[in-house]
Amino acid sequence: MQSLLQILLLCILSCGLIFNCCYADSHGEKLSKSEFDTCVQECGNQYEECSKAIRELWKNFQKNKKQIMKVMNSCCLRGQSDHSQPSTLSFATCVRDRCGAELWGCNIKKRHSGFLTEREIEYIKQKELRAKKKIQQ
């Protein structure tokens, strides 16, 4: 009797996962590739808007790295495991709820403009020097 219940439970869970994978959004509609791409782009715009609050901190990334990463991770992943959180909370909740995504993540890149500061040049030199020393060992 116990194994029959286990099999039944496993079957119910499997059907739930299959249903969840096949139907993309909360309305039960499967999104086309272009609709999904558009949806993810809209969530990306939301992520970018969230990150605007720390734009000035990027000017001294090394000094502000911990604070930058904390805010960026929050903009990206906050509420990802809590299905009661609104889709406007983070990139993860947005793509999960609006786009039906099963996996998500954020790629953080500093888009550099203009000349490198002395601090940035020195940091790059030190990083290259450390890499060369590592190779020589």
Backbone angles phi, psi at 34, to 5 degrees: -70, -40
> Chain centroid to CA 44: how far?
9
Tokens of 73: 């991770």
Q: Quick check: helix, strand or coil at residue 101?
A: coil
User: Has this prediction a pTM greater than 0.85?
Assistant: no
For 66-122, how does the pLDDT look when each residue is reduced to its tens digit (9 = 90+)? 999 999 999 999 999 999 999 999 999 999 999 999 888 887 666 666 667 788 788
